[in-house]
Amino acid sequence: MAAAVTTSQFDTEVLQSELPVLVDFWASWCGPCRAIAPALDEISKEMEGKAKVLKVDVDAEGDLANKYSVMSIPALIVFKGGQEVERHVGGLPKPQLAAMLERHM
């Protein structure tokens, strides 16, 4: 399952990760966010040890959303080596979500 990450954990879990990380900026009231959640959970399991999938609740972690200029959700951002390397706003089918990570592995 895609784990939640807070502002205090972000540096350690995302920016300092040796693996590429797909971060899903989401909110519980966002329909498209809820629609892609099962696919993200599956990808998280399938890519365990090769990549990470984490979730940031924009309502609880507004400062983090602002820092990364998240204006619309779901915002899917791939980080590698502490840098943003890819971004997509809006839902995607599972194969395209997985491809976002695979391009950076």
pLDDT by residue (tens digit) across 30-88? 999 999 999 999 999 999 999 999 999 999 999 999 999 999 999 999 999 999 999 99
- Domain 3-102 carries which CATH code? 3.40.30.10
| Domains of the chain by residue range | 3-102
Predicted pLDDT at 98: 97
Q: What amino acid is encoded at 23 in this protein?
A: V
User: Catalytic amino acids?
Assistant: 30, 33
Distance CA 93, CA 59 (A): 24
Q: Model confidence at 1, in pLDDT bands (50, 70, 90)?
A: confident
CB atoms within 10 A of CB 16: 10
